[in-house]
Structure 1
Amino acid sequence: MAAGVLIAESLRVGTVLDDLSLVVRKLQRSAPGNATAEQPPVWTLVFFDVADTEAEALATQLSDALDTPGWYVDLHTAQDSFIVFPGRVIRYRRGDPQGRAEAQEHGRAHGIPDSQLDWPI
């Protein structure tokens, strides 16, 4: 199973995601302390699982639903990381420092502070 975390506030207003084949494992409200000026100070984190075979399709769907600036979703299988930004998915093998660096650089270029670029390796 692939595991991911979605911040509900990162979805564009009016977004509808339906026919999803994911399992919500945990919901959490959090005041992260490192929100940017464009982000709300309290977030709703949705921890979820999805079949490995559906991870890429879900990443694409989420990429079309994320708001700008400064949001992403991290989604990981045992082998691959999908870092989902508005309009772009960066996929790389887990443990690949170049792939991770590319995703982090894309995030920085789109207003995400280093303190939020903390997805699992």
Structure 2
Amino acid sequence: MARGVLIAESLRADANLDRLDLCVDRIWRSDAGVYAGRVFRYPRGDLAGRAAAADHGRAVGVPEEQLDWPA
């Protein structure tokens, strides 16, 4: 089983990864913040939406240098 962070620029919000042999700790996208049990979707350029996703990342222990995706 693979374990780690999935970086998925084009992953749909409703994508189902259950059939893959993966243990995903986090998924990163530039227009969404996806965490275990929580998804933040916002249009590109929405600074408030991006800030909410980054704030949640901080609250669950994501290092600051991993919260620098484009707005």
Question: Alignment identity in percent?
Answer: 42
The aligned counterpart of 1:57 is 14
2:19 is equivalent to residue 74 of structure 1: no
Per the alignment, do residues 49 and 117 of structure 1 end up closer, same or farther by CA in structure 2, a change over 3 Å counting?
Answer: closer
Per the alignment, do residues 56 and 48 of structure 1 end up closer, same or farther by CA in structure 2, a change over 3 Å counting?
Answer: closer
The aligned counterpart of 2:51 is 101
CA distance in 2, matches of 1:73, 1:118: 14
Q: TM-score, normalised by structure 1?
A: 0.44
Per the alignment, do residues 48 and 84 of structure 1 end up closer, same or farther by CA in structure 2, a change over 3 Å counting?
Answer: closer
CA distance in 1, matches of 2:62, 2:50: 14
Per the alignment, do residues 48 and 101 of structure 1 end up closer, same or farther by CA in structure 2, a change over 3 Å counting?
Answer: closer
CA distance in 2, matches of 1:85, 1:49: 15
Residue 49 of structure 1: how far off its partner (Å): 5.8
Give the alignment's Cα RMSD to 1 decimal: 2.6
Q: Displaced runs of 4+ in structure 1, greater than 3 A?
A: 46-50
Residue 75 of structure 1: how far off its partner (Å): 2.5
CA distance in 2, matches of 1:114, 1:87: 20
Residue 87 of structure 1: how far off its partner (Å): 0.5
